[in-house]
Amino acid sequence: MNILILGSGGREHAFAKKLSESTKISNLYVAPGNAGTDAIATNLAINPTDFAQVKETVLQHDINMVVVGPEAPLVEGVHDFFLADEELKNIPVIGPKKDGALLEGSKDFSKQFMEKHNIPTARYQSFTTDTLAEGKKFLETLDAPYVLKADGLAAGKGVLILNDLEEAKAELEEMLSNQKFGSASSTVVIEEFLKGIELSVFVLTDGKNYKILPSAKDYKRIGEGDTGLNTGGMGAISPVPFATDDFLTKVEELVVKPTIDGLQKDGIDYRGFIFIGLMNDNGNPSVVEYNVRMGDPETEVVLPRIQSDLLDLFEGVATQTLGDKSYEVTPQTATTVMLVSGGYPEAYEKGKEITGFNTVDDSIVFHAGTTLKDGKVVTSGGRVMAITSFGDSMDEALEKSYKSIDKISFDKMNYRKDIGFDLK
């Protein structure tokens, strides 16, 4: 089979690596990809949200399946575009259509969905410019901290958590009346603050059947001890030690099954990944958010643990036979540590030569923001590489990741030295 992966990050390199191991693969393409995917697949310099370009590429390379990495093409309707096109409609797309992608594209929609299907989540109400005064009154009924969420996609920056009521009211006004996050904040969800410790559970579904993929915990802040600015993610661990069998059974019964059933009841034919962000409050799960694609860097620890043929699972998604597919996961722990450009997540420089990564033999080097320039691998983004290792324990895996990192260098390279610190 000829497969096209859309995207260019560490997540897409992890997809490419796993799919390249499939016995069913003939040709593997990544668009636009990075220097890592270039080494194991063919990179195609197209924009994943330019659907006319995607179509041309798919026809030119005789693609049999498209795997969508990031959320933007899904929210913008790449799957719907395929279904509506005579030449593309029989080519499966792994990723939901626009209706399912709303679970991530609109926080108001996802909260309504959870409420309707009795899925545990924080109590909430949504407000628009017309109901700003009611929004302020609703804030008065809640206890600090106050959680304000822009309804639409805001590059991971649309959630504000504030301790002061007056500040929360002022921010609500900024979001609604002054469009702090553009049209993404023309509706704002205000919700109760959830206590507990966060983790993510990933589900692959064909709309009827599902497989629960390994759980993972990521580290979002730039600074050690989870301090400083939010990033796309500085590292991840899988499995999550506190995700006990008992907790995961609750997640399956209270969250996963009602989510799959709810999608069916609402007439949403969902084929792809569901990323469920959860709060574990004393052993009880509550949904913080849905994403309609895999997480990055969680993919870099989740996929390497899956021992089954990923392409076979994707074929199950396409033909709604996922329930018949074999699915094995290694019990070993996987850890990943992200190498980032100095200055990230604020201003940083690009084009720095990366050395030593080819000498790493005890870890998997997933490229994120890298590109080839004059035959050399150079940095091209804030998050540069994710260094994934296995171990019988989290500490063993982390030790391997950090030893491998010692071999890699580029100007102003930065990384967190405390991934997993809260799980020890």
Residues that bind ligand ATP (CB under 6 A): 122, 147, 149, 156, 158-159, 191, 193-194, 198, 277, 288-289, 291
CA separation for the pair 125, 151 (Å, rounded):
11
Is the Cβ of residue 156 or residue 351 nearer to ligand ATP in the bound state?
Answer: 156
Is the Cβ of residue 156 or residue 225 nearer to ligand ATP in the bound state?
Answer: 156
Q: Is 253 helix (H, G, I), strand (E, B) or coil?
A: helix
Residue 118 C-alpha from the chain's centroid: 24
Min dist CB 221 to ligand ATP, Å, is 10
Min dist CB 150 to ligand ATP, Å, is 8
Is the Cβ of residue 80 or residue 289 nearer to ligand ATP in the bound state?
Answer: 289
Q: Cβ distance 211 to 321 under 8 Å?
A: no
Min dist CB 216 to ligand ATP, Å, is 13
R_g over Cα of the chain: 21
Could you say which DSSP state residue 346 is in? S
Is the Cβ of residue 118 or residue 307 nearer to ligand ATP in the bound state?
Answer: 118
Min dist CB 43 to ligand ATP, Å, is 26
Is the Cβ of residue 158 or residue 316 nearer to ligand ATP in the bound state?
Answer: 158
Min dist CB 390 to ligand ATP, Å, is 26
Min dist CB 409 to ligand ATP, Å, is 29
Is the Cβ of residue 50 or residue 422 nearer to ligand ATP in the bound state?
Answer: 422
Is the Cβ of residue 149 or residue 352 nearer to ligand ATP in the bound state?
Answer: 149
Min dist CB 194 to ligand ATP, Å, is 4
Is the Cβ of residue 72 or residue 159 nearer to ligand ATP in the bound state?
Answer: 159
Residue nearest to ligand ATP (CB): 156
Min dist CB 103 to ligand ATP, Å, is 11
Burial class of residue 72, CB neighbours in 10 A (0-12, 13-18, 19+): middle
Is the Cβ of residue 29 or residue 127 nearer to ligand ATP in the bound state?
Answer: 127
- Which candidate, 236, 220, 244, 209, places its Cα nearest to that of 304? 236
Min dist CB 164 to ligand ATP, Å, is 16
CA separation for the pair 422, 110 (Å, rounded):
29
Checking 110-113 for CB contacts under 8 A at 24+ apart, the result is 110/289, 110/290, 111/189, 111/191, 113/262, 113/266
Min dist CB 86 to ligand ATP, Å, is 35
Q: Cβ distance 363 to 388 under 8 Å?
A: yes
- Alpha helices in 257-376, H assignment, sequence order: 257-265, 299-305, 310-319
Beta bridge partners of 69: none
Min dist CB 213 to ligand ATP, Å, is 17
Is the Cβ of residue 17 or residue 217 nearer to ligand ATP in the bound state?
Answer: 217
CA separation for the pair 308, 140 (Å, rounded):
51
- Alpha carbon of 91 to those of 19, 82, 318: distances in Å? 17, 7, 9
CA separation for the pair 134, 360 (Å, rounded):
57
Number of other CB atoms surrounding residue 349 within 10 Å: 12
The two tokens of residue 26 are 């003939």
Q: At what angle do helices 310-319 and 10-20 cross, to 10 degrees?
A: 100
Sheet with 210-212: strands ordered across: 210-212, 197-205, 272-281, 284-291
Distance in Å from the first CA to the final CA of the chain: 43
Q: Cβ distance 329 to 214 under 8 Å?
A: yes
CA separation for the pair 158, 185 (Å, rounded):
8
Determine how β-strand 42-43 pairs with β-strand 217-218: unpaired
Is the Cβ of residue 100 or residue 158 nearer to ligand ATP in the bound state?
Answer: 158
